[in-house]
Amino acid sequence: MSYEKKDRGRKFILTEKMKEKSFVIIAGGTGGHVYPAISLAKKLSDRRYPVVFLTDKRGAKFIKLKSKIKIFILPSPRKKAGILSLLEKLYVLIRNFCTSLKKLKTLKPSAVIGFGGYYSISPILASYVSKIPILIHEQNAMAGRANKLLFPIADRIAISFRKVDGLRANKKKIVRTGTPIRPEFFKLGKKLYSDYSRKTNLKILVIGGSQGARSFSKILPHALSLIDEKDRKRLVISQQCNKKDIYQLKKIYAPLKVKTNLKIFFHNLPKILTKCHLVIARSGASTIAELEVANKPSILIPYPYAKDNHQMKNAQMMESAKPNWILEENEKTAILMSKLIQKLIKNPGTFLNKVKNKRKRTFNNGSENLAKHCVQIVGDKA
């Protein structure tokens, strides 16, 4: 049996005579790029396909924490502005391209899967030159700049949302898979959401993505200070915050008489989600996908400085699917948040109504769907 594919003058021939079909997954930077990649890697590993990660130092931390998959680390440029920074970025791109060529020659993967971000540019270009089939996954409702650049050379483009702005490519290439999500989040979504009442505490989880959100450390205390003291005593806050803010936050929360659990990072997020009633979060693609399948009502505050404002686009797409509220980050955020939380404290039924009235899921089993397309692109049966 053989599988032959011709595209843009390139020719791939994959046969059963090959020792083993394998994949290289390219994902670096924030957890938003890396967590979906880890979920896919686990799914491919379950199918007995060898998987290797090409990532940067930041991505490696997430991968080592969540899996035992082999990792090869490429350098990433420092975040600085100016001419020297541009020259450094260009140098790193060229260097990583050359290193990726050598690594791909050694690994001989059957296909590569990229998850976007600046980091993915060099390895994907090296894959194209090496005539290795390329699948690119776009997690956001607004296509990222790196992916926009790479879409033309991809053999297949997987998307999370029904509509992705900035995606100009051959429609035959595009498949909608959803976002790969860790399986433990699907288990949460099956639980009945009915344990909050006027007699219980309202448990709120505050997360700011893989890097935390320093502005939440200002917005939330301000919002809570505007809530009636009687209602405030019923709040239990689990908040992810920057290491530099923890001490100051403890001092601010103390006179507010609010029970708190402050952490730099929640490694047991699914367990904490099980116990909370409301989530306050950014609207990165991975975050909102996990919240949606976990069936948790959430207040989404899009990161205002995200490139192309893609987090707002994500949030708007999710609001139509429920169960979310969107607040823009500005001088009125704390006031609006306090009013919303006060309303939820006094009207427990709002939570149940939000969940019950939720429409069809935006995200389903993205890991399995994406794995099927990865398998297809190397000529195996899905």
Helix (H, G, I), strand (E, B) or coil at 122: helix
30 shares a domain with 131:
yes
Asked whether residue 56 is domain-assigned, the answer is yes
167 shares a domain with 138:
yes
Give me the pLDDT at residue 295, please: 79
Asked whether residue 33 is domain-assigned, the answer is yes
259 shares a domain with 200:
yes
229 shares a domain with 100:
no
Question: Closest by alpha carbon to 202, among 277, 310, 128?
Answer: 277
The C-alpha atoms of residue 35 and residue 12 are separated, in whole angstroms, by: 30
Asked whether residue 382 is domain-assigned, the answer is no
Give me the pLDDT at residue 356, please: 58
Which residues make Cβ contacts (< 8 Å) with residue 357, sequence separation at least 6? 322, 323
**Domain tally, the chain:** 2
Helix (H, G, I), strand (E, B) or coil at 75: coil
Quick one: tokens of 16? 């059963």
Give me the pLDDT at residue 46, please: 92
202 shares a domain with 176:
no
Give me the pLDDT at residue 66, please: 66
268 shares a domain with 166:
no
Asked whether residue 347 is domain-assigned, the answer is yes
Report yes or no: 30 and 115 within 8 Å, Cβ to Cβ.
no
The C-alpha atoms of residue 313 and residue 167 are separated, in whole angstroms, by: 14
Asked whether residue 71 is domain-assigned, the answer is yes
Helix (H, G, I), strand (E, B) or coil at 108: coil
* Identity at 266, one-letter amino acid code: F
270 shares a domain with 285:
yes
CATH number at 294 reads: 3.40.50.2000
Helix (H, G, I), strand (E, B) or coil at 63: helix
189 shares a domain with 94:
no
303 shares a domain with 249:
yes
Give me the pLDDT at residue 334, please: 96
Asked whether residue 208 is domain-assigned, the answer is yes
- Residue 52 parent element (H or E): strand 51-55
191 shares a domain with 122:
no
Residue 382: Cβ within 10 Å count: 12
Range list of β-strands (E), 99-230: 111-114, 134-138, 156-159, 174-176, 202-207
Give me the pLDDT at residue 60, please: 87
Ordered mean pLDDT values, 10 residues apiece, the chain (382 residues): 42 44 92 89 94 90 76 80 81 94 96 93 97 96 91 95 83 91 75 66 85 82 95 93 88 92 86 88 89 85 85 80 81 95 85 60 77 94 74
80 shares a domain with 213:
no
Residue 168 backbone class (left: φ over 0; alpha: ψ -120 to 50; beta: rest): beta
Residue 305: Cβ within 10 Å count: 8
Give me the pLDDT at residue 358, please: 55
Give me the pLDDT at residue 113, please: 98
Helix (H, G, I), strand (E, B) or coil at 169: coil
| Residue 134: burial class (beta carbons within 10 Å; 0-12, 13-18, 19+) | buried
Give me the pLDDT at residue 153, please: 96
299 shares a domain with 169:
no
Structural domain range at position 312: 185-356
Asked whether residue 117 is domain-assigned, the answer is yes
Quick one: tokens of 151? 């879409």
Question: Closest by alpha carbon to 362, among 162, 189, 147?
Answer: 162
Quick one: tokens of 142? 């607004």
